[in-house]
Homo-oligomer: A and B are copies of this chain.
Amino acid sequence: MSGTTVGFVGLGAMGQGMAGSLLRAGYAVRVWNRSPEPVAAMVALGAEAAEGLADVFAADAVVSMLANDDAVERLLLDPVLLAGAAATLHINMATVSVDLAERAEALHTEHGIGYVAAPVLGRPPVAAAGELNILAAGIPAALAAAEPLLAAMGRRVWYFGERPAQANTAKISTNFLLACAIESMAEACSLAEANGVRPTDLIEMLSGTLFPGPICSGYGAMVAERRYEPAGFKLPLGLKDVDLALTAGASARVPLPFGSVLRDAFLDALAHGDGEKDWAAVAAVARRRAGLPA
């Protein structure tokens, strides 16, 4: 790490925590962000402000954490940028589509840059603590080069193969399971309540028996208590992730009936104005279907 310069693109709540972890680990970090405030915040912590994306790609390695396919496509899948890069490694930690991952890999390979997909599990506080779970895939040489950087940002790296898209598939599958879990608990809580059981009693029992862990105790409580604000992860982002799963399914011809139900439920939630709420608000759709009070 000594002497290694890391370019970092995308200083949202997650990106700031991750860049901070790299700084703490001793890396020289050169940051870029669309809006200036987060750049200033990171500079105050010891980072260098990049003059532009070319400056970022002049570093030894680049880590990016952008919001979605569009942002990655527009900012980073730029042949001119990549052709001029000194960096030999780009670790893309965003949740993007399988299709984008494949195109990104091809373009980076063409320009001699190792491309690692490394989407993460964890919210901003976990990112800030350097305790993310990281799902990684890429060719062995690139993964080896990425390993110390990933170690600085996460508590554990899970490997999925040599094709970067494998890590994105794993991440998309994981978020699909989260959405399924929320809808499952929403339907179960509506069923319980309409039959006279307090949803909070149900979730407490489930958390203490078959479903330990943060999903049942966290999302389950939000569902049971109808507490959808403040939003940890907004509903339209949930729909985006469900759509990533459906799209990856369609291109590989994998029907996902639960995914189809989820898509309809998220659309229903948006049609009723819940776009600013946490994606747990899909539970309000289950309640509405049953005529239960909002």
Contacts and interface: CB of A to CB of B under 8 A. Distances in A.
Sorted nearest first, the 5 A-B pairs with minimum C-beta distance are A271-B291, A260-B260, A180-B184, A255-B264, A194-B252
A160 interface: yes
A177 B169 contact: no
A290 B254 contact: yes
A103 interface: no
A173 B161 contact: no
Given A169-B197, A187-B176, A265 B255 contact: yes
A46 to B, nearest CB: 30
A213 B181 CA distance: 14
A163 interface: yes
Given A163-B196, A250-B267, A258-B183, A173 B158 contact: no
Summarize A's interface: helix, strand, loop or mixed.
Answer: helix
Contacts of A98: 195
A249 B267 contact: yes
Contacts of A174: 188, 202, 205-206, 209-210
A215 interface: yes
A50 B188 CA distance: 40
Interface in A168-226: 169-170, 172-174, 176-178, 180-181, 183-185, 187-192, 194-198, 201-202, 204-206, 208-215
